[in-house]
């Protein structure tokens, strides 16, 4: 069974059976493209669609991949992530118990309805750039590795949303692979406070400066943020937006 998030800590989570079925119907009706990948490996994904929903058996049927190896890994996985958009709303859920089947004479994959679905409007993921003159930092605790003792690394934040943060690693101190997890990262938000939260790396981008120096940008998502965490991040984003608007008006 896939892990179930703490519903008390995620204001965007749908857990009622009726709401979950309604969301799945919307995905099927709009023929939305859905990204499917094994949890922890977002860089190894396929795009699929919902072919059928069976309310009697409580199963979803989606297109399988032309890559049989991928299909094999997916049905063997404990947790598989599905990401899509419906009416400009980001929708994602985790499923388990996938199996290969035949649907209308063609290969497909079936799995039980998820126990929860997360729906977040795009505006919730509005990203604000961190001012250069007022840097916000993130402290990450690294475990002992390759003979190096456990240590805390401070990196700058490039931008921020209530869904995640982009970190700038200028000295190559952090692991640069998607799926990497940073437990208990501490975000220092000027004039607001500190937020301690788990991060998961979703994307890695390397930038080369004119001086040939490389800076690695790590796009991270917040993992199971509490309502208090979300409110503090929203407060900081709102403060930056107000300052930016005032600057545009010449104040």
As a whole number of angstroms, the distance between CA 23 and CA 115 comes to: 12
* 50 and 34 Cβ atoms separated by less than 8 Å: yes
Of 97-106, 171-180, 242-251, give the range with the top mean pLDDT. Answer: 97-106
Contacts for 1 with CB less than 8 Å, ≥ 6 apart: 96, 97
As a whole number of angstroms, the distance between CA 116 and CA 7 comes to: 9
User: Within the chain, which residue ranges are assigned CATH 2.40.10.220?
Assistant: 126-248
Q: Tell me which CATH homologous superfamily contains domain 126-248.
A: predicted glycosyltransferase like domains (2.40.10.220)
Angle, alpha carbons 40-46-48 (nearest 5°): 120
Q: Does CATH number 2.30.110.10 belong to domain 10-123?
A: yes
As a whole number of angstroms, the distance between CA 189 and CA 138 comes to: 9
User: Within the chain, which residue ranges are assigned CATH 2.30.110.10?
Assistant: 10-123
- What count of Cα atoms within 13 Å lies in the side-chain half-sphere of residue 3? 5
> How many secondary structure helices (H) and strands (E) does the chain include?
3, 17
Of 96-105, 127-136, 224-233, give the lowest mean pLDDT range. Answer: 127-136
* pLDDT value of residue 151: 82
* 114-144 per-position pLDDT tens digit: 999 988 765 455 678 888 788 899 999 987 7
**Which among 199, 198, 204 has a CA at the least distance from the CA of 218?**
204
* 37-89 per-position pLDDT tens digit: 998 887 788 889 999 999 999 999 999 988 899 999 999 999 999 998 887 67
* pLDDT value of residue 154: 93
Angle, alpha carbons 124-130-134 (nearest 5°): 140
Chain-centre distance of CA 74, in angstroms? 19
* pLDDT value of residue 6: 47
- Alpha-carbon distances, residue 195 vs 67, 88, 131, 171, 249 (angstroms): 42, 28, 19, 24, 31
Indicate the pTM of the whole model. Answer: 0.51
């Amino acid at each position: 069974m896939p892990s179930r998030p703490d519903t008390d800590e995620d204001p965007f989570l749908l857990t009622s059976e009726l709401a979950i079925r309604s969301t799945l119907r919307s995905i099927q009706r709009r023929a939305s493209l859905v990204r499917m990948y094994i949890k922890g490996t977002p860089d190894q994904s396929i795009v699929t669609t919902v072919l059928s929903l069976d309310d009697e058996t409580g199963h979803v049927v989606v297109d399988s991949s032309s890559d049989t190896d991928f299909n094999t890994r997916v049905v063997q996985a404990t947790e598989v992530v599905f990401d899509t958009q419906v009416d400009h709303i980001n929708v994602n859920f985790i499923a388990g118990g996938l199996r290969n089947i035949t649907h209308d004479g063609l290969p497909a994959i079936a799995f039980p309805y998820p126990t929860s679905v997360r729906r977040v409007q795009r505006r919730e993921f509005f990203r604000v750039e961190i001012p250069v003159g007022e840097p916000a930092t993130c402290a990450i605790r690294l475990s002992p590795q390759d003979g190096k003792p456990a240590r805390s690394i401070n990196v700058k934040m490039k931008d921020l949303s209530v869904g995640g943060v982009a970190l700038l690693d200028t000295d190559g101190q952090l692991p640069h692979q998607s799926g990497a997890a940073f437990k208990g990262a501490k975000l220092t938000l000027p004039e607001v406070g500190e937020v301690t939260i788990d991060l998961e790396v979703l994307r890695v981008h390397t930038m080369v400066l004119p001086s040939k120096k490389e800076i690695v940008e790590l796009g991270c998502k917040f993992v199971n943020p509490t309502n208090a965490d979300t409110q503090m991040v929203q407060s900081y984003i709102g403060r930056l937006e107000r300052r930016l608007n005032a600057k545009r008006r010449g104040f």
